[in-house]
């Protein structure tokens, strides 16, 4: 799960996906990363943590980290939140095979749309709730696809 600072969208996506992995008893690993070094090592935004806690998911132990080229070797899928994140990931990739692992997370629920997940950082708690709802729907579909043997 990749966003800019790895303190809002991608840690939320990681936490929700981890909950889905546990719910569906999927043998998988999820992580999140960003491209903005300013927040490296920081906990998720307090509003993200609060909204997630409201939904029974604790992301307070997560820490922001930068996306690494080695992530292509570790993960089968890399989900980005928007076109900037896509381009950032592309700039790190070595070849088209690596880029086949990359997709916009909302393409699972809106195929081929490349719809961005709205960045809630400059909004209030309602913005984080909206982000939660979008990511919850998308990760549910991802989990079901994996559970059913999808790529």
Alpha-carbon distance of 132 to 91, in angstroms, equals 28
Mean pLDDT by 10 residues, the chain (151 residues): 97 98 96 94 97 98 97 97 98 97 97 96 94 98 92 60
DSSP for 24-46, written as a single string = TT-------BBS-GGGTTPPPPH
Are the C-beta atoms of 17 and 1 separated by less than 8 Å? yes
pTM: 0.96
Query: What pLDDT does 149 receive?
Result: 85
Go through the domains of the chain in sequence order and give each one's CATH number: 9-141 (3.40.50.2300)
Q: Is 45 exposed, middle or buried (0-12, 13-18, 19+ CB in 10 A)?
A: buried
Q: What's the rounded Cα separation, in Å, for the pair 64 and 4?
A: 10
Tell me which residue of 145, 3, 5, 4 sits closest to 76, measured CA to CA. Answer: 145
């Amino acid at each position: 799960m990749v966003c800019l600072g790895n303190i809002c969208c991608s840690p939320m996506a990681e936490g929700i996906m981890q909950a889905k992995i546990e719910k569906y008893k999927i043998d998988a690993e999820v992580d999140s990363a960003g491209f903005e070094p300013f927040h490296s090592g920081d906990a998720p935004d307090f509003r993200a943590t609060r909204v997630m806690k409201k939904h029974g998911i604790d992301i307070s132990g997560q820490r922001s980290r930068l996306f690494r080229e080695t992530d292509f070797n570790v993960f089968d899928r890399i989900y980005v939140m928007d076109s900037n994140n896509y381009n950032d990931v592309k700039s790190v990739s070595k070849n088209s095979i690596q880029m086949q692992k990359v997709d916009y997370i909302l393409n699972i629920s809106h195929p081929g749309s490349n719809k961005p997940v709205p960045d809630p950082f400059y909004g209030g708690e309602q913005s984080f709730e909206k982000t939660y709802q979008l990511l919850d729907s998308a990760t549910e579909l991802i989990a079901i696809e994996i559970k059913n043997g999808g790529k």
